[in-house]
Chain A
């Protein structure tokens, strides 16, 4: 088995710009936490770990003109990525074969919170509407350096960057990629400073992880990226391993949206599985970089989970959040780089500010320990919704061994699908009698939620969450599975209604008396976590937020997990909601409302799996994701996709395109398809279902319904006179909206 090497790393946080300064701060026990200086907020009572640069200073370092719309998260990400690329010796031209996976939750919120009222009331800041979402942030970071082979974004709150590492590693392990740069970036915003304040988990003193007197966390900010490559790829480039990614795992606590379970079930599972993958006994871990936020709940729960594995003989442990503050979505990669520095330089970082032992907690390392040999290090990152990820990083000399059994999955099955859309709720009436949509935006036809979710349970759920619960439970019920092994969700924007409520109150009423519920629901992975809690699913639980590829990324990951043999079944969802003011913003940004485009909402859930069952809708032939591809690249990927699924082009009865009514866009797709598939009829679905970031999920539902019913309704044909297929065997889906994100999907009978 080939190893996954870490061949480069870059980091920026309150304790340093770059690895050298970071390492020095750690060795000298110099914390970056102090009085607030860069963020404009009323809350000066909270110490924070800010990156000691203004946005303009970062632009200067990156040679970016100040007039270009930039967000702080993107700028910090660029500084970290720049160092990682140089450290690994990658050239600009190499990037076309390299993927990028970034984690963030805040995205461009620093600018959105500043200009929110301008967005609504005038046209002075429209250029920042497009920089708001998480996927845009990743693309800004990536585009500064060249053209990457693919790009996607994970948003699982505070474990986002750790899960980006997991995805990149899985892609390499499965042979889907040879080199992937992974990590995350997050700046401090008023939005989440106030959000954490509303949850009453911020400490007014310097945070004291694992201390009996701990009273909460200090927010931090920063970014870190690491270059992961297969051993053979690195050897071909004559590149040495700085460390080896020996094991990793994600699990879901499935307990509560914001609190960890008392026995740390999710953390226990993620640590156990990561150790198992690395093929080492728990006693071989020399150091644990704990999640250790400093909140009473996290540190006690994490300590319980660690004691369940190590008993009373716990490895040396510290939380470096006492240096950096909690860098939220970026913490997973920031702390992985800290672990890398610890291995390379032979030291164990201190857990600062510790004074009083707590019987509920493990006693951490209080002073830097120098001159130690670290063979294997474990790094924990946990997020809201009990999203727990553990990573084992080993020195190249360690005797770990990758231990996993892949299985030979043929084409997986799509057992079931369930949707709520502008056409219908949970039914396929649209198939024979579609509703014509004649207004620019329409909200979904909702079922009577009370018959599905008891009101008390629904009290904090916006529509997007109710739809996600209902479609997920309905897909599970129709799948023939009792449970699923994984839950993977795509959402471009998450619960934007709640996000808007919070932002609106923040902008109009100021930074006091904000409702914790709105903040808590604003994280993108709320959907996946709630479904996980509802289904009591402790398995893999990941959320993607990458523009038009949000759903596609989720589906790709579920397919990847099936092919790796990590799971037998997965619930894959695509969820986005629309609010009247958000529709207005999209229109201003030039996304929607142009010509005959129609904006809609998406709630769609599938259960897919590797084992045959009594019935299924269709089989899944695979997906290819690309970033800014030219037509030669799309053609190459198309043929690879068909070949790998062993389906000849002649079997393809139609190409379901992402045509959305925008004349320019539809002409581009039409021309592209003319080159790729000369005589296969083109189909569309967005004229019936509307456009949203996860509309491609409804596209897959449309394609699966056609195959299961054995016909394609006339309403889907782009050209009414096209030669119609009587019994479709296979359908292709082409999803490209802004000519940057692009995917090809294949389904067959």
Chain B
């Protein structure tokens, strides 16, 4: 799981173009949106693309993202249970 978390952090940084952010700067238990990393609804859409591209997980309703993208740890847990690639 730790490996997945690190990989996921790197992928998030790349997909969202978070210049100057390093994987160790992201607390995997902190909120990705709002007060945490400060992401917004467009980032959520980018994360949906990331999930499908890298893990074969297709989300058809953007509202599903609200739960899944709570934190990197929650995301990693969801991926490990649902990934198709």
Contacts and interface: CB of A to CB of B under 8 A. Distances in A.
Contact of B19 (A458, A515, A517, A520): A458
Interface string A197-211: 011100000000000
Contacts of A450: 19-20
Given A513-B53, A515-B49, A516-B49, A460 B19 contact: no
Nearest to A459: B17
B45 A459 contact: no
Nearest to B41: A259
B41 A455 contact: no
B46 A200 contact: no
A459 B16 contact: yes
Interface of A is mostly: loop
A200 B42 contact: no
A456 B42 contact: no
Contacts of B61: 200
A199 B45 contact: yes
Contact of A517 (B20, B38, B42): B42
Contacts of B48: 200
A28 B62 CA distance: 36
Interface in B26-52: 38, 40-42, 45-46, 48-49, 52
A455 B41 CA distance: 18
B46 A516 contact: yes
- Range, interface on chain B: 10 to 19
A691 to B, nearest CB: 30
A517 B46 contact: yes
A256 B45 CA distance: 15
Contact of B49 (A259, A455, A513): A513
Nearest to B59: A200
A520 B19 CA distance: 20
B14 to A, nearest CB: 11
A550 interface: no
Contacts of A455: 18-21
Contact of B45 (A200, A257, A456, A458): A200
A258 B42 contact: yes
Interface in A440-470: 450, 455-456, 458-460
Nearest to A204: B60
Nearest to B20: A455
B41 A459 contact: no
Contacts of B40: 256
Contact of A456 (B18, B53, B62): B18
Interface in A455-487: 455-456, 458-460
A200 B42 CA distance: 10
B49 A459 contact: no
A539 B53 CA distance: 41
Contacts of A257: 42
B62 A460 contact: no
Most chain B beta-carbon neighbours within 10 Å: one of A259, A459, A513: A459
Contacts of B42: 257-258, 460, 516-517, 520
Interface in A225-243: none
Given A258-B42, A520-B42, A200 B62 contact: yes
Contacts of B52: 513
Interface string A636-673: 00000000000000000000000000000000000000
Interface string B7-28: 0000000001111110000000
* Residue with the greatest number of chain B CB neighbours at <10 A, chosen from A198, A258, A456, A458: A456
Nearest to A258: B42
Nearest to A200: B62
A450 B19 CA distance: 10
Given A200-B62, A456-B38, A516 B17 contact: no
Contacts of A200: 45, 48, 61-62
Nearest to B54: A513
Contact of A198 (B16, B18, B49): B49
Contacts of A456: 18, 38
Nearest to B40: A256
A516 B18 contact: no
A258 B52 CA distance: 23
B28 to A, nearest CB: 18
A199 B40 CA distance: 13
A202 B61 CA distance: 11
Contacts of B41: 256, 258-259
A459 B53 contact: no
A199 to B, nearest CB: 6
Given A200-B62, A459-B16, A515 B46 contact: yes
Nearest to B48: A200
Contacts of B20: 450, 455
A259 B16 CA distance: 19
A257 B45 CA distance: 14
B62 A459 contact: no
A463 to B, nearest CB: 13
Contacts of A520: 42
Nearest to A215: B61
Contacts of B53: 513
Contacts of A198: 45, 49
Interface in A494-529: 513-517, 520
Interface of A: 198-200, 256-259, 450, 455-456, 458-460, 513-517, 520
Shortest 9 CB-CB contacts between residues of A and residues of B: A455-B19, A516-B45, A459-B17, A455-B20, A200-B62, A513-B53, A513-B49, A456-B38, A459-B16
Given A200-B62, A516-B49, A517-B42, 9 more contacts: A198-B49, A200-B48, A259-B41, A458-B19, A459-B16, A459-B19, A513-B49, A513-B53, A516-B46
30 contacts: A198-B45, A198-B49, A199-B45, A200-B48, A200-B61, A200-B62, A256-B41, A257-B42, A258-B41, A450-B19, A450-B20, A455-B18, A455-B19, A455-B21, A456-B18, A456-B38, A459-B16, A459-B18, A459-B19, A460-B17, A460-B42, A513-B49, A513-B52, A515-B46, A515-B49, A516-B45, A516-B46, A516-B49, A517-B42, A517-B46
